[in-house]
Structure 1
């Protein structure tokens, strides 16, 4: 695979130029480009520049509103609702997370219910942001069907990621972001592009047979949930929390309404924030740090998020797939 070396600033500028050229205003382009740059910086390659062509597809078709403004409403002291107005989710989150953090600190617990936004980025940025503000956070969102429920060979669930973050004042938060599928579809697509096999159990061919070929999964096949029935149950939970609970679509309903332009569909997101100072008093940080120390003393144990946090200490250039860079340049 041929690569080109780009600085983090060059990654940001390439993304922003492309987004502005395809209908984003400066604010939207800047917010999304920062997210893309940070994904490349942290080694989350399947959520960095790799996603940009799909964003452009949605902008070109008019499905995504690159110049819109989300509407934030406080439904009750602990419930915040955002009408996304078909904006990209990072723009919606930029407006909503400060309101969520404020409500959680005032009331101990608060939820953010998002409708009609386009989420295809990593989910750790929103939970990590809340954890950096001293809050425990959980987030989930659905997509279009790509994952078969346990016992089935046809898709019903999205890859339905969940993200959790625990604050560690003075230290980097503990953060995980995981698909409830055996593997995120973006990672399958990256494996296909780069000619890698995927583990058996990742997904099935269009005929319902197990395969290690990512192309057979991505092109007409289906992903499987992680952990069989356990992962399937968690994926179902995400459908309910990011769909019915926030008043938005289930994945199969999203697919029925989407124009299939290749860009991220419109959907909902559920975010929960909890203030540990309210629920645990003042000793929670010392207590949880003792727990993390216990974990790390048990062998080669890495706390969730440590790899990303280590990667971001390197502010040097990143090697980016040359074919992808050329494709992006052609879009602007």
Structure 2
């Protein structure tokens, strides 16, 4: 397979995404939100959750498996508790609406717990942490997903890869951002490897027979391994309870897979915990202490060959700055899918920004 990649301006890809969503019936404001969630992931180097997801989102919307304009219902069931029914809307749209309302509650009470049901894949969890940090809030974000991880000792997927994310403001453009799946690797990376026809590393997954595999197709038919062994399974269970059971969404093997042709509504669940830093101490004091903490951490003597100690979120911010300047590189398979989608919906796919390095 050719490793040729083309580079595109982020703003043009964002505009393309927005127009595609609008063509599919999404209102302009929500289309902008969904496009921003996808492109932000690409900008930060999380390509498995970026624009490569647009074709499957579009396909399921055309089929009616995802609602273009959901009637999102929000019910405040306690002073700091919000229950959200996403009416099977796009995950990014449901989640941004839920987070906005949750942040408003947190600003009043100091904390907000937001449980969401009736949603879909919501992109990168870090996006919602960033939303909170931009408003001086700290955040914990969880979501369940279709079966991807076996219970410890099992040979069949049961739990989702169930990401856990934390965001803490630092007073700079690089908040502390921890976004990790409870699996060794996000399932989206295996999906992307399958699209590109590339093998996956050993230790990522098992096939349907419970054997380790480097074949992404076999891995998708099997299961992704948990991070940290039994501890990863325990964390995945905890996320399943918060996002699936507590919210009233689907859980475990009942969460439908967006990529299965014969699936129904996904009924993905999310859980957001939002904390207003100002209710604990002045924000300036908090960010000062964060700065001290991070500087001291980065000053720890380094292992041989390590040039710099980075805090979680620092690489993400550097990657975003570079890609904003130099563009987003798309693999040929993703580029082909997007161009075909644009042609089908009569949305012009952007022109490449730069020649790839192997063409120079």
Name which of 6, 26, 29 aligns with 1:27.
29
CA contact (8 A) 2:65 2:265 kept: no
Structure-2 residue corresponding to 1:226: 227
Q: Distance in 2 between matches of 1:181 and 1:306?
A: 22
Residue correspondence of structure 1 range 46-195 to structure 2 within 5 A: 46-195=48-197
SS of match in other structure, 1:163? strand
In structure 2, the partner of 1:301 is 309
- How many Å apart are 1:280 and its aligned residue? 4.9
Query: Could you give the per-residue CA deviations for residues 227-274 of structure 1, whole angstroms, max 9, x where no partner exists?
Result: 101111000000000011122221312239997457982221100012
Judging changes above 3 Å, is the alpha-carbon distance between structure 1 residues 241 and 71 closer, same or farther for their aligned structure 2 residues?
A: same
- Alpha-carbon distance, 1:286 to partner: 2.7
1:91 partner SS = helix
Aligned residues: 331
Q: Secondary structure at the match of 2:89?
A: strand
Separation (CA, whole Å) in 1 of partners of 2:315 and 2:264 = 29
Is 2:319 the partner of 1:318? no
- Structure 1 length-normalised TM: 0.92
Q: Give the secondary-structure state (helix, strand or coil) at the position aligned to 1:313.
A: helix
Q: Are the aligned partners of 2:140 and 2:166 in contact in 1 as well (CA < 8 Å)? A: yes
Q: Any idea what the Cα deviations from partners look like across 1:144-176, whole Å, max 9, x if unmatched?
A: 111111111101101101110111124421011
Deviates more, 1:133-142 or 1:194-203: 194-203
- Segment drifting more, 318-327 vs 158-167: 318-327
Does the C-alpha gap of structure 1 residues 257 and 217 become closer, same or farther in structure 2, counting only changes over 3 Å?
Answer: closer
Paired position in structure 2 for 1:214: 216
Asked if the contact 1:56/1:263 (under 8 Å) is kept, the reply is no
Please report how far the alpha carbon of residue 52 of structure 1 lies from its aligned counterpart in structure 2 after TM superposition. 0.9
For residues 231 and 50 of structure 1, the distance between their equivalents in structure 2, rounded to whole angstroms, comes to 27
What RMSD in Å do the two structures reach over aligned CA positions?
2.3
**Do 1:84 and 1:114's aligned partners in 2 also have CA atoms closer than 8 Å?**
yes
Does the alignment pair 1:248 with 2:258? no
Mean CA deviation greater in 122-131 or 24-33 = 24-33
